[in-house]
A and B are shown apart, each in its own frame.
Chain A
Amino acid sequence: MAIIRGVLLALALSGLVQGPMAWAQQKFITVASTTSTEQSGLFKHMLPVFEKKTGIQVRVVAQGTGQALDTGRRGDADVLFVHDKAAEEKFVAEGYGGPRHEVMYNDFVMVGPKADPAKVAGGKDILVAYKKIAESQAPFASRGDKSGTHAAELRLWKAAAIDPQTGKGAWYRETGSGMGPTLNTASGMNAYTFTDRGTWLSFKNRGDLVIVVEGDQRLFNQYGIMLVNPAKHPHVKKDMGQEFVDWVISAEGQKVIADYKIGADQLFFPNARR
């Protein structure tokens, strides 16, 4: 093992693979975040502002919230920026990180085919829509990947007193992948699906899909940010990581989030408590 370690270290130090890239000496932190924030383009809009101000490069690894929390648990990220409050609070309670700060919210929407076989379009009650879909057995594409969006979707099935597993493989189809691939699948098979608004707004391959249900209080989607616990993982860059957390919930960071728009639509609404 010592030999392997030596070889790898030599390889890493040799700069063999770093070549022309100037980031070798740059200060950076690693942030595990969700596909919704990355794919909506928020980070591309937000991170250059922080980097310019502090000189700290933020490297974002976009995963589902479940996987991102696990990345934090293993100590492979310095900061987590995710959206599954229950799972985040569990993460903090287990001592893996925190304190957790609320950052911003947007909402989930249900999208489905224009033909609307389950007759749910225009509804304001998401639970009624879920019941109609289950009754009509219209195809529904689920993330099935333990992401924040998947967790929210499952909570709503539970609230509607429906066990979607009974329709598994028939009308309830788990894609086991990110929001984008799931939307691609839904678009391909004209299925209903449950998505965060940010990913939907930036998604291009919509086919016949449109928003069918939105505006229900229960569709609230809160994002949180937290530092991974340096006591558990001593290599966590706690100063730079904390600087990023503080900036995101500062007046300046919050304004940058509010400023991000696709067309006329604001994607995320800052709501940090300062």
Chain B
Amino acid sequence: MTSLWDAFGAAWQLIAGFDSTLAQIVGLSLQVSLTAVLIATLIGLPLGATVAVERFRGRQTVIVLLNAMMGLPPVVVGLLVYLLLSRAGPLGSLGILFTPTAMVIAQAVLITPIIAALSRQIIEDAWREYDEQLRSLGAHRFNAAMTLIWDTRFSLMTIVLAGFGRAAAEVGAVMIVGGNIDGVTRVMTTTIALETSKGDLPLALGLGIVLILLVVLLNACAGAIREMALRRYG
């Protein structure tokens, strides 16, 4: 029990003290995960929209695969990206293993299926609803998809935030491809893992509380956006 109180004390000290090392770690976490979510959105959203409005052979298989890949274990993604980027791997000549770029790639791989699968569902539901209407207006599938993306933008934004949450919270992949290098690839989750292994549980939990606060802030944003969407569309 004392540990728990110590943890809250540690969390408070971390926040109130505004430690520059912590600020840098939080900054890198945000930078890596935001970049990853941007890339995942640029790939996942068009992919989800395409699968939603197009009819092609094997579509059901693609949907099943996308849905299943939402549950990709981070440590497996980390290992795959590690083997790709390792000097002995096919992309080794880039020399980006153990850099933030490698972490961005791993997180993007991890959350692209989430964004693709969930946006596919939302856009497909909207497509069913407006199908006839859009057809009667003579809209091509591409234009229809663009319209639907715009119409469901608030729901899609929630998905993007969920993807961000997943990226910022995972530790398995970034630990492997980033290497948890002090001042270079050390992010919130890998710092927590490190302090846990040092046996400094209050500090580890304190850092965890800071991370949770960030996620709460994020969810508050998602909630506010949802409210806006509901007010707009009743």
Chain A residues proximal to chain B, CB less than 8 Å: 1, 4-5, 8-9, 11-12, 16-21, 23, 30, 35, 39, 43-44, 59-62, 73-76, 178-181, 183-184, 187, 202-206, 233, 235
Query: Is A180 a contact partner of B199 (Cβ separation < 8 A)?
Result: yes
Q: How many Å lie between the Cα of A9 and that of B105 in the bound state? A: 12
How distant is A202 from chain B, measured CB to nearest CB, in Å? 6
How distant is A81 from chain B, measured CB to nearest CB, in Å? 14
Q: How many Å lie between the Cα of A178 and that of B193 in the bound state? A: 11
Instruction: Among B97, B99, B194, B199, point to the contact of A183 (Cβ < 8 A).
Output: B199
How distant is A221 from chain B, measured CB to nearest CB, in Å? 19
Query: Is B181 a contact partner of A39 (Cβ separation < 8 A)?
Result: no
Q: A17-B100, A19-B31 are in contact. Are A76 and B199 (CB under 8 A)?
A: no
How distant is A249 from chain B, measured CB to nearest CB, in Å? 23
4 closest Cβ pairs, A-B complex = A180-B197, A205-B199, A75-B87, A61-B179
How distant is A8 from chain B, measured CB to nearest CB, in Å? 6
**Which residues of the other chain, A, contact B39 by a CB distance below 8 angstroms?**
11
Residue of B nearest to A41 (CB): B198
Query: Is B31 a contact partner of A75 (Cβ separation < 8 A)?
Result: no
Q: List 24 A-B contacts (CB under 8 A).
A: A8-B96, A12-B94, A17-B31, A20-B27, A21-B28, A30-B98, A35-B197, A43-B182, A60-B181, A62-B180, A73-B88, A74-B86, A74-B88, A75-B88, A75-B92, A76-B87, A76-B88, A76-B97, A180-B196, A181-B197, A204-B199, A205-B200, A235-B93, A235-B95
Query: Is A184 a contact partner of B182 (Cβ separation < 8 A)?
Result: no
Does B35 sit at the interface, judged by CB under 8 A?
yes
Instruction: Among A17, A20, A180, point to the contact of B101 (Cβ < 8 A).
Output: A17
Does B104 sit at the interface, judged by CB under 8 A?
yes
Query: Is B200 a contact partner of A17 (Cβ separation < 8 A)?
Result: no
Instruction: Among A8, A39, A60, point to the contact of B197 (Cβ < 8 A).
Output: A39
Instruction: Among A17, A44, A74, A180, point to the contact of B32 (Cβ < 8 A).
Output: A17
Query: Is A184 a contact partner of B199 (Cβ separation < 8 A)?
Result: yes
Does B138 sit at the interface, judged by CB under 8 A?
no
Q: How many Å lie between the Cα of A215 and that of B95 in the bound state? A: 44
**Which residues of the other chain, B, contact A206 by a CB distance below 8 angstroms?**
199
Q: A44-B182, A61-B179 are in contact. Are A8 and B200 (CB under 8 A)?
A: no
**Which residues of the other chain, A, contact B28 by a CB distance below 8 angstroms?**
21
Query: Is A8 a contact partner of B94 (Cβ separation < 8 A)?
Result: yes
Q: How many Å lie between the Cα of A44 and that of B21 in the bound state? A: 13
Q: How many Å lie between the Cα of A16 and that of B108 in the bound state? A: 14
Residue of A nearest to B90 (CB): A1
Which B190-209 residues sit within 8 Å CB-CB of chain A? Answer: 194, 196-201
**Which residues of the other chain, B, contact A180 by a CB distance below 8 angstroms?**
196-199
**Which residues of the other chain, B, contact A43 by a CB distance below 8 angstroms?**
182
Q: How many Å lie between the Cα of A59 and that of B98 in the bound state? A: 9
**Which residues of the other chain, B, contact A12 by a CB distance below 8 angstroms?**
94, 96, 99, 101
Q: How many Å lie between the Cα of A183 and that of B32 in the bound state? A: 31
**Which residues of the other chain, B, contact A181 by a CB distance below 8 angstroms?**
196-197
Q: How many Å lie between the Cα of A235 and that of B32 in the bound state? A: 26
**Which residues of the other chain, B, contact A4 by a CB distance below 8 angstroms?**
91
**Which residues of the other chain, B, contact A202 by a CB distance below 8 angstroms?**
198
Query: Is B197 a contact partner of A184 (Cβ separation < 8 A)?
Result: yes
Q: How many Å lie between the Cα of A109 and that of B219 in the bound state? A: 47
Q: How many Å lie between the Cα of A75 and that of B183 in the bound state? A: 22
Query: Is A59 a contact partner of B198 (Cβ separation < 8 A)?
Result: no
How distant is B97 from chain A, measured CB to nearest CB, in Å? 5
Q: How many Å lie between the Cα of A181 and that of B97 in the bound state? A: 25
**Which residues of the other chain, A, contact B181 by a CB distance below 8 angstroms?**
30, 59-61
**Which residues of the other chain, A, contact B201 by a CB distance below 8 angstroms?**
204-205
Does B65 sit at the interface, judged by CB under 8 A?
no
**Which residues of the other chain, B, contact A44 by a CB distance below 8 angstroms?**
182
Does B184 sit at the interface, judged by CB under 8 A?
yes
**Which residues of the other chain, B, contact A35 by a CB distance below 8 angstroms?**
197
How distant is B2 from chain A, measured CB to nearest CB, in Å? 12
Q: How many Å lie between the Cα of A11 and that of B32 in the bound state? A: 12
Q: How many Å lie between the Cα of A151 and that of B180 in the bound state? A: 24
Query: Is A5 a contact partner of B31 (Cβ separation < 8 A)?
Result: no
Instruction: Among B86, B90, B91, point to the contact of A76 (Cβ < 8 A).
Output: B86
Chain A CB within 10 Å, residue with most, of B86, B99, B180, B199: B199
How distant is B93 from chain A, measured CB to nearest CB, in Å? 8
Q: How many Å lie between the Cα of A44 and that of B182 in the bound state? A: 9
How distant is B118 from chain A, measured CB to nearest CB, in Å? 24
Q: How many Å lie between the Cα of A240 and that of B183 in the bound state? A: 20
Q: How many Å lie between the Cα of A11 and that of B100 in the bound state? A: 11
